[in-house]
A and B are shown apart, each in its own frame.
Chain A
Amino acid sequence: MSASVLFDAPGPKALVRNRILAVAGSLLIAGLLAFSIVRLGEKGHLAAGMWDIFNYSGIRQNIADGILATLKAFGIAAVGSLVLGVLLAVARLSDHKPVRWFATGFIELFRSIPLLITIYAVWVGFLIDYSMWALAVGLTIYNGCVQAEVLRAGVNSVPKGQREAAYALGMSKTQVMVTVLLPQAVRAMLPTIISQLVVTLKDTSLGYIILYPELLNSARLIASNTLVDGKYPYVSTIVVAGIIYVAMCLALSGLATWIEKRGRRAKTGIGTPPAGQSALLSGDAGQAAATGILILGDSNQTGGPGTGGGGQN
């Protein structure tokens, strides 16, 4: 009953060794955690007063406003990036060369420069008084380009027969794209699209840098405006903001995993790639040989290679 092909089922000797290593490993990890906690305690970051600040309604209101601001920017950017993604994907698949070139150039340019550079340029150059819109526009441009590539991969993965059948029925180019290709592409790519939305949600934290009062920035403001026993409660506010962020992202990537599992259950349509695995990578990297793959069938496999997390940005 070997758990994995990488190692034999442990015999009596290996069992003892594994147990020793397990205990040593756990002790080491626990030791590091304990060390951090003790050090934080020594510096007074674990004092009740540091954490009591979250009982004040003003601070709670600030955090709630921060979450709301984050979600607002995320909502605009999510809708915007999906719309822009569809437009750019269609443009890149267009039959007209200038349109195709423009879309390719736009996508390649904005995909290969840091999002922060774009957001900052939009903010300083055009929307200095509207940091929320600067953030939303920057996020829309960057993520729109990524979503366009995802959708393009989806459209290309639709079997050729679908397109040919639609043309044979006398549909126009627009009809083929809108009623035949795009719906199937979206269905196939839904987990990847949602993973990219997780990335979008994570990237709203860049609003911190352009002084948009989203969750992280309000956390910093709370920390720098509150004085507890002569110290600023940076540690406690960062921990609280971090937990909220991780919870929001996990909820969204949980949705992606759920949709992926649902898609795998359905027998019709194109198979959905694992969530989180960028569609752009899946071409060569995810192309595991169909047979003879190492199956690490074990409890440590919580899902496909990319489940349970956002993609990289």
Chain B
Amino acid sequence: MNVLLDHFSDFRDGFIGTVSITAVSTVIALVLGLVIAGFRVSPIPPLRWFGTAWVTLLRNTPLTLLFLVTTFVVPEILFPGMSAFVLGSLALGFYTSSFICEAVRSGINTVPLGQAEAARSLGMTFPQTLSLIVLPQATRTVLPPLSSILIALTKNSAIAGAFSVTELFGWQKLMGEEGYDIVPVFLWVALAYLVVTFTISGVFRLLERRMEVAR
């Protein structure tokens, strides 16, 4: 109890840090994931290859390595001096985008065949078919895996703490270094993560209920 009370402001900053890096990288991952999923089913072969390469590469790379890449390689290519928060969200967002891409793609696969055929017979182009007909119907099946992916993203954001982003792991590390008993620290951090992940799964349960269709 003392650990939390003595260092409450650090803990609060850490919690806010975790929530904000999760939010920012969720946005990056969702946008990139949708775009890459579109690439992977598109009629243009080079884009399909790019999508496949992207997913294969990112899914088989440890996230820690991606953090190293964004910390040491990306500033060399773009401009130096980007904040650890931006770099961390980039790493997390890119990594998660490959999983979101696969979830969206398998969601597209569950839309009944006739829908796309009907759209095509009405003369819709590929972007129209995808964005007006297929993707809206795929949303329902994509939601449950998306919820697990975002929870995994929240958990993965802990790694950012090791790359000098202010968040909950950073707090745990600080307390560990200051010699506090690690068990209560661990429990408080665990509780904070549980709050975030339960919120995410609650929101998604709500969304799923709203999108439910009677069959």
Contact at B144–A202, with CB atoms within 8 Å? no
Task: Name the CB-closest residue of A to B110.
Answer: A288
**B112 and A293: CB pair below 8 A?**
yes
Chain A residues whose C-beta falls within 8 Å of the C-beta of B96 in the assembled complex: 312
Report yes or no: B68 in contact with A22, Cβ–Cβ below 8 A: no
Instruction: Decide if B182 touches A124 in the complex (CB within 8 Å).
Output: yes
Interface residues in B, total, Cβ within 8 A:
85
Residues of B within 8 A of A45 (CB): 76
B73 touches A7 (CB 8 A): no
Residues of A within 8 A of B40 (CB): 300
Query: Is the CB–CB distance between B68 and A220 below 8 Å?
Result: yes
Which residues of A sit under 8 angstroms from B45, Cβ to Cβ? 22, 299-300
Query: CA–CA, A302 to B40, complex, Å?
Result: 11
B62 interface residue (CB < 8 Å to A): yes
B152-182 to A contact mask, C-beta < 8 Å, 1/0: 1011111101100000110011001000011
Q: Which residue of chain A has the shortest Cβ distance to B153 in the bound complex?
A: A312
Out of A4, A43, A114, name the residue touching B76 (CB < 8 Å).
Answer: A43
Instruction: Tell me, yes or no, whether B60 is within 8 Å of chain A by CB.
Output: yes
Residue A68 CB within 8 A of the other chain: no
> Any chain A CB within 8 A of the CB of B69?
yes
Query: B152 is contacted by which of A202, A220, A298, A312 (Cβ under 8 Å)?
Result: A312
* Interface residue stretch chosen among B5-13, B83-91, B114-122: B114-122
Q: Pick the residue among A198, A202, A203, A293 that contacts B113 (CB under 8 A).
A: A293
Nearest to B68 among chain A residues (CB) is: A238
In the complex, are the beta carbons of B159 and A209 less than 8 A apart?
yes
Size bracket of the A interface: 35 or more
A309 close to B144 (CB less than 8 A): no
Among A10, A115, A198, A294, the residue within 8 A (CB) of B109 is A294
A6 to B42, CA, bound (A): 8
CB–CB B99/A246 < 8 A: no
Highest count of chain A CB atoms <10 Å: which of B45, B64, B113, B185: B64
State whether A208 touches B102 (Cβ < 8 A): no
User: Are B50's CB and A5's CB within 8 A?
Assistant: no
Taking the complex as formed, is A153 at the interface, i.e. its CB lies under 8 A from any CB of chain B? no
Q: Which residues of B contact A313 (CB under 8 A)?
A: 152, 155-156
Q: A288-B110, A294-B116 are in contact. Are A246 and B60 (CB under 8 A)?
A: yes
In the complex, the answer to whether B62 meets A205 with C-beta atoms within 8 Å is yes
A253 within 8 A of B: yes
Interface residue? A289 (CB, 8 A): yes
Q: Please judge, given known A-B contacts A22-B46, A241-B65, A278-B148, whether A6 and B116 are in contact too, CB under 8 Å.
A: yes
A6 CB contacts on chain B under 8 angstroms: 41, 43, 108, 116, 120, 126, 129-130, 134
> Which B residues are closer than 8 A to A by beta carbons?
40-52, 55-57, 59-65, 68-69, 72-73, 76-78, 96, 98-99, 102-103, 105-117, 120, 125-126, 129-130, 134, 141-142, 144-145, 148-149, 151-152, 154-159, 161-162, 168-169, 172-173, 176, 181-183, 185-186, 189-190, 193-194, 197
Which 5 pairs between the two chains have the least Cβ-Cβ distance? Answer: A309-B59, A305-B106, A205-B62, A114-B158, A125-B182
Chain A to chain B contacts (Cβ below 8 Å), 22 pairs = A5-B120, A6-B108, A6-B134, A14-B43, A22-B46, A22-B47, A39-B76, A114-B158, A117-B158, A118-B186, A121-B186, A125-B182, A202-B63, A206-B159, A208-B64, A242-B65, A278-B148, A281-B148, A294-B134, A308-B59, A309-B98, A313-B156
